[in-house]
Amino acid sequence: MTSSFQEKLFENPPECTEMNPDYWFADEHDEEETFGRSERAIAVTVCNRCPFKLECFTYAVENEILDGVWGGAVPQQRIAYREKVQRHSQSPQWFGPNK
């Protein structure tokens, strides 16, 4: 995260910093079912209204974070996004102006 982003976080902490971190790192396969899908849904909802959503998502994708909700996306969504970006960066550019 860039220093300007960190400064923004310090000046205006996101809602997630004041909530139980288990919401963002809930195990949907928790044997005791104390936390799971419903908590993850709450985390996604909080993320979706956060002004730092894009920066958070980008941080998780760039750092290949494979657990938790980051920027409103669960690990499977971030993995799929990263794979899509990699596929498109390797494919020929067939669109845009001719050179």
> pTM of whole model > 0.75?
no
Give the pLDDT confidence score for residue 83 in this predicted structure.
Answer: 92
pLDDT > 90? residue 96: no
Question: Where is pLDDT greater, at 4 or 29?
Answer: 4
Mean pLDDT of 11-22: 90
Give the pLDDT confidence score for residue 35 in this predicted structure.
Answer: 54
- Name the helix (H) or strand (E) containing 39: helix 37-48
Range name among 49-53, 79-83, 95-99 with the lowest pLDDT average: 95-99
Percent of the chain with pLDDT over 70: 77
Residue 9: pLDDT band with limits 50, 70, 90: confident
DSSP, collapsed to helix, strand or coil, labels residue 70 as strand
Contact between 37 and 28 (Cβ < 8 Å):
yes
Domain ranges in the chain? 3-90
